[in-house]
Chains A and B, each alone.
Chain A
Amino acid sequence: MNDTTDIDDIINNLRDDDISNLHSGIEIQSSLDDSFQQTDLTDLKKAWLAERMSPDILAFQTSLIDRLMDRIRIQAAYIEENSMADFHNSGDIKMKLLIVESELERIKFLVRGYLRTRLSKIDKYTIYIIQSGENQQEGNADQFDLRLLLSPQEIQYMERHHRILLNLYNTQFLSALPAQLQRLDDSSGGISMVEEPDLDKPVFIRVLETVERPIRVGLDEITLEKGNIYVLRYSAISKYLIGGEVELI
């Protein structure tokens, strides 16, 4: 269609007080596929924010990221195809390309930020993560193998980075030190050399679903009611984050 001017009255979905994201409630002929797409984008934003705000590393969103990457490739191909086409006869296609490209950039920004935030945590807590796996193999049941939270690519990245870093330390000075001083995960002398995430770090949360039982925060008890905004220590709510009752903001 050629007449693209004067489209009147595009409503924003801003009326609602509880718009947690701008995409909720968009009027579309709702096929299953469409609502699926929408949830994915909401979930991506949530995952991105949660990863940026949480002190520890969260589970990699494998299937979500897989689905989004598929869609990203499809949109990139759409841009490629249509940029080649004969567009002189249609202002419509230019408009569409602009929209597709803008959305694509927004989503790529989120995925990129998500992945890079994770990498920086992985770099920071490498030894801690690796140790958690070793402890678990040694039959320490309390210890969760944190590597299970990483994607295969992230594990590969982490192990390789650790190896070359270790090699650097060794060739620079570590191998020249007395044998008992050559370890990196040394905690003798009261000072641990292994950097661990500070799970009691204060975080901002918003309650998405009321939690019936009050939770303990230090010496107090609080009730998480839908819509509440709190700042409190991460460890008090981390399981509700995983359960989806609260989100980090």
Chain B
Amino acid sequence: MDSLKLIGLRVPKMSPMVQMQVPLWLALILKKQARCKIVMPSWLEEEHLRQVYERETTVQDRFSDQLPWRWMELSQSLLAHASDDLKSPLAKVRSLLQDIREVRLAKARAGISELNESHVQMDNLGHMEINELRPFAILVMDQLRRITSLTEPEPDHDDDDYDNDDV
């Protein structure tokens, strides 16, 4: 296919047997039309995932930095639509991803006990994981903030807030 100008990028001319980088959504369209093979990222290989899993289980107080920011979303779409392009057996990859997810979830849950009204650091958590945590974390911090503002009012933050009284 000839090169094509889009809003966010120019798709280069595509020829058979030539590797190129395109955004995921585009790769998935081509894949669905059986017009390409997707070269899987190396972090989706069994060996790498096994390492990640080991790191996650040995290091208790941090999340492994060996996964990309959107690892859950990416692995989900790639496994769902391009599993035949995986370099490692699908079942292995899937179960490792599941294990990693669970061990990280357990860590995140444990970390919730450290929530305070001021700030919490959550380095290397994935975007999806943050979204799962968000409603609860915000609720807890909001409540703590309210309690704190009652006991030790800070001079420069004279909240809070009478707005829940009707309807």
Q: Which residues of A contact B (CB under 8 A)?
A: 1, 3-20, 22-23, 25-29, 34, 37-38, 40-41, 68, 71-72, 75, 92, 95-96, 98-100, 102-104, 106-107, 190-192, 195, 198, 200-202, 204, 217-220, 222, 227-233, 235-236, 249
Contacts and interface: CB of A to CB of B under 8 A. Distances in A.
A23 B8 contact: yes
Interface in B9-67: 9-12, 14-27, 29-31, 33-44, 65-67
B7 A4 contact: no
Contacts of B22: 10-12, 26
B21 A7 contact: no
Contacts of B70: 19
B133 to A, nearest CB: 9
Contact of A16 (B68, B122, B125): B68
Interface string B73-101: 01000100000000000000000000000
B150 interface: no
Contacts of B117: 218
Given A12-B21, A28-B10, A103-B6, 19 more contacts: A7-B15, A8-B19, A9-B19, A11-B39, A12-B38, A17-B68, A27-B20, A40-B7, A95-B1, A99-B29, A100-B6, A102-B26, A107-B8, A204-B130, A204-B134, A218-B148, A229-B130, A230-B120, A231-B120
18 contacts: A6-B35, A9-B19, A9-B39, A10-B22, A12-B40, A27-B21, A29-B12, A40-B8, A71-B7, A75-B6, A103-B26, A107-B8, A202-B141, A217-B118, A218-B118, A218-B148, A218-B154, A230-B120
Nearest to A192: B162
A37 B8 CA distance: 5
